[in-house]
Structure 1
């Protein structure tokens, strides 16, 4: 178990008194702590901001490119069924691995966790390149399952960093910065198929060069994970360490998952919202973008979707940290906005969906070759804006969930376990909906199920968001899994709050 020394807290009483006012020069010696001044800010390699940038770049090049590939509908294939099967395998494995991956993050450290986590993405892209030539479905499904294992580790490491490194008053901005960089990867990745298929007004599978471009970028991203520092090396602006609770054995780490539920049973009310957080990709990518637009228009829709994600993350991330409004009030306001958007945007989607052909018609050769929509068609503007708002909605939903979890705790141990629950349950929801698409349920049915689950999950989570998110997180709550005392950690918290108020 961690003591005050392990968390960067001085043991000498006189030193404790001055700890809250520690100067940046109090950082350890070494290249990781050598500061570089940019404007009126000083940055060093082992700082939360720089490490967040490294994490964001890993996600830029791995899941960002995965999103760009998946956003084409069917991962660039005309027949979306192979991606349905791969995605079902992916999220089924992801659900199991991610449920316990907070344990792996605590024991292995975030660098090793994310390095392992980045491996599966390039293999997944390579499987579709192989499929173009061999029609080997088994390899694609295996690649999806392997990616599920890897992604479970990567996203839990990312979630623990994003929720525990920043001071609590800055968590919305950190989430926003991450989401901007991460989705810029999907935006740039979307330019690859758009550039290579811009002259094609017919439908079809994307070219081999598209898959090769994705593979190269994903390999770079997986390698970049080794540039991360271990958590115990990170120093905040005041010289303090991130609060990282350590347990000596695997058994006590697994017990921590149970303790998280036992001591905070109300977190179960957030599980439906976790479940809903990835289910809308199935309808949007494979039941809207995939079947109803030709290849170049699918690529353009994909680009606009991820650009809208950046806009949504900026707006909501900064709004969640608005300093002139109490945090509890910000939580309530954000929940109200999210609830309203669920009915406004998906209500517009309902009007669009009721005008579309059914799945049986959309899968005929005549429809694929002659009746899919091109961006030059007169009726394209409405669906284009709907798809843009779908992308913005996704970013707002994800940003809110991360902020809600971060607002409930500042402990790395608790947030890592909570992130594991989040990604595991999220993946279970995605697996269910990809399987529904693989079973060829009607487009109308999948749309209705998606909208209903999103709305119902908000209704269930509402009381927790309304009641449990306070203006600040009590130290006693954060230390339930630790042997450290309030007196040891209080100076660190005071320094964090002081520095957070000074941030722009």
Structure 2
């Protein structure tokens, strides 16, 4: 019989599910519970198709496909500027309503997901994905604005459930030894969706060098791809024991309190700069933007990852480097953007096409904000996880972050809907950046030199090793002999 495989790290889904635990090769269980399983017995009792489905890598692929079909394509539509519509106002109203509802769902998301289960939360979310593309198609093809607005609460609810469940599942299903690779797969799927969406946009609208809305048929591939998420949601294995208590305590914690404005700021740019793109650029220029911006966003995020993973520096020092890098880069982009926007307020340039001489000067501020803006979002996840004492802390931090993010987006798109000029939103964005610096600088200076969860895990592993040695008579005698010698030496 094969040697048993030890259970996964504490607090993970696989720690409570022996089937998924089969995908793990090391780690410790919670407390003194023996979470080892007999792999041979598992293989004998479980059909091959079921073992493949239950494997942690398969489950990560399932969640990654949904991320590709849902949030990534939603970002691609948003990246068209005003959702690709002729005027951005209706789209801004819709996104404001959508994000407001999503914020409410995320606020209580951990409790709700715990009640209905992670799998069914993902199913609810995936079922709402096609409504987004369908609502924009109906508006563009039939000028049906009521449907665009009416679907916002449904997509906001669906995406709220899905995002909270996704965060819980991704952090729980990845084996510790392969966590980096699994999370990289998830991140790539989100950005790949935006790249595919951008390619669709450009292919459908490459000839349209004037203003107005995109070709209505552009939304059809989006609807088809969004619908593909649902079957993969049904393939998710239920997470039975994800504890999501202490939600209120998390929201009132000093970490969330001090980073609140920073989180709002890190997502606020979406509203004013999306309106900027919709107002001043041709359809095909906006389509080109939706293709190239995600690619350089990936490069920027990996660059920040390099900074935050620098060897030879403590975690606190790396947190400080990352924070000021983000602030300095965004300040440079804001100055450029404000200069261009003031010019456009004085003299409306009309739809700028990529063939125009002023295209580079006008487009680069939007391009750079789509590269530097997400850096703050990635940094927020990194800095909050630096304080985590367990996997459950990451789940609660993720839920709080998503709720605050939606509040920021709702305000940003609401301001953009009320004021046709992006200038007001840009000025508010600058003000938020200045306001967030004191609280976030306090957090960076309090960042522990090592992740508490890692320290706790090492201490637990050391204690377990000591217990095993004490249970072995030969090792116990050896330890007692060493102790006696140490006492004699000291005497």
* Counterpart in the other structure of 2:388: 409
Of 249, 258, 283, the residue aligned with 2:248 is 258
Residue matched to 2:55: 46
Stretch of structure 1 that moved more, 54-63 or 382-391: 382-391
1:435 matched residue in structure 2: 414
C-alpha contact (below 8 Å) 1:328/1:470 kept by paired residues: yes
Task: Indicate conservation of the 8 Å contact 1:273/1:457, yes or no.
Answer: yes
| Contact 1:305 1:390 (8 Å CA) reproduced | no
- 2:279 corresponds to 1:291: yes
Q: Please give the per-residue CA displacement for 1:222-273, whole angstroms capped at 9, x wherever unaligned.
A: 33222333346xxxxxxxxxxx553xxxxxx5x62123346x3442111112
Deviations 1:448-496 (A, max 9, x none): 1112213322332221122034312157989xxxxxxx8599769xxxx
Superposition pairs of residues 181-200 of structure 1, within 5 angstroms = 181-200=189-208
1:276 to 254, 260, 265: 265
The counterpart of 2:358, out of the listed 379, 399, 406, is 379
Deviation at 1:7, TM superposition (A): 8.2
Q: Is the 8 A contact 2:330 2:373 kept in 1?
A: no
Q: What SS does structure 1 have at the residue aligned with 2:446? A: helix
Shift of 1:278: 1.9
Question: How many angstroms does 1:411 deviate by?
Answer: 2.9
Q: How many residues align?
A: 443
- Greater Cα radius of gyration, structure 1 or 2: 2
1:393 to 365, 372, 385: 372
1:337 matched to 2:346? The reply is no
CA distance in 2, matches of 1:23, 1:224: 27
* Structure 1 residues not aligned, in runs of 5+: 36-43, 233-243, 247-252, 479-485, 493-504
**Residue 129 of structure 1: aligned partner:** 137
**Can you give the 5+ residue segments of structure 2 that lack an aligned partner in the other structure?**
1-10, 19-27, 466-491
Asked whether the equivalents of residues 171 and 403 of structure 1 are also in contact (C-alpha less than 8 Å), the reply is no
The 2-side partners of 1:148 and 1:207 are apart by 25
Asked if structure 2 preserves the Cα contact closer than 8 Å seen for 1:118 and 1:225, the reply is yes
Distance 1:290 1:256 in 2: 42
- Decide which of 422, 427, 431 is 1:452's aligned counterpart: 431
User: Residues 110 and 219 (structure 1 numbering): CA distance in 2 closer, same or farther, change over 3 Å?
Assistant: same
* CA RMSD across the alignment: 3.5
Once residues 464 and 65 of structure 1 are traced to their aligned partners in structure 2, the CA distance between those partners, rounded to angstroms, is 33
- 165-174 or 100-109, larger mean C-alpha shift: 165-174
TM-score by length of 2: 0.80
Specify the alignment match of 1:352 in structure 2: 340
Q: Is the 1:475–1:490 Cα contact (8 Å) retained in structure 2?
A: no
Q: CA deviation at 1:135?
A: 2.8
Does the 8 A contact of 1:64 with 1:182 survive in 2?
Answer: yes
State the match for 2:80 in structure 1. Answer: 72
The match for 2:215 is 207
Give the TM-score normalised by the residue count of structure 1: 0.78
1:225 equivalent in structure 2: 233
1:439/1:407 CA distance change after superposition, 3 Å: same
The equivalent residue for 1:467 is 446
CA–CA separation in structure 1 for the residues paired with 2:30 and 2:101: 45
Aligned 8 A contact 2:329 2:372 in 1 = yes
Deviation at 1:313, TM superposition (A): 2.3
Q: Is the 8 A contact 2:272 2:423 kept in 1?
A: no
Q: 1:490 to 1:473 in 2, by over 3 A?
A: farther
- 1:392-431 per-residue CA deviation (whole Å, 9 max, x = no partner) reads 1133122111112222215343322222211111111111
Corresponding residue to 1:143 among 121, 137, 151: 151
Match of 2:80, SS state, is: coil
Are 2:310 and 1:302 equivalent residues in the alignment?
no
CA contact (8 A) 1:87 1:431 kept: yes
Does the C-alpha gap of structure 1 residues 199 and 135 become closer, same or farther in structure 2, counting only changes over 3 Å? closer
Is the contact between residue 70 and residue 226 of structure 2 (CA under 8 Å) also seen in structure 1?
yes
Looking at structure 2, the residues matched to 174 and 449 of structure 1 have their Cα atoms a distance apart, in angstroms, of 37
Aligned to 2:314: 326
Q: Report the equivalent of 1:156.
A: 164
User: 2: CA distance between counterparts of 1:278 and 1:442?
Assistant: 19
Decide whether aligned partners of structure 1 residues 108 and 126 sit closer, same or farther in structure 2, where only a CA change above 3 A counts: same
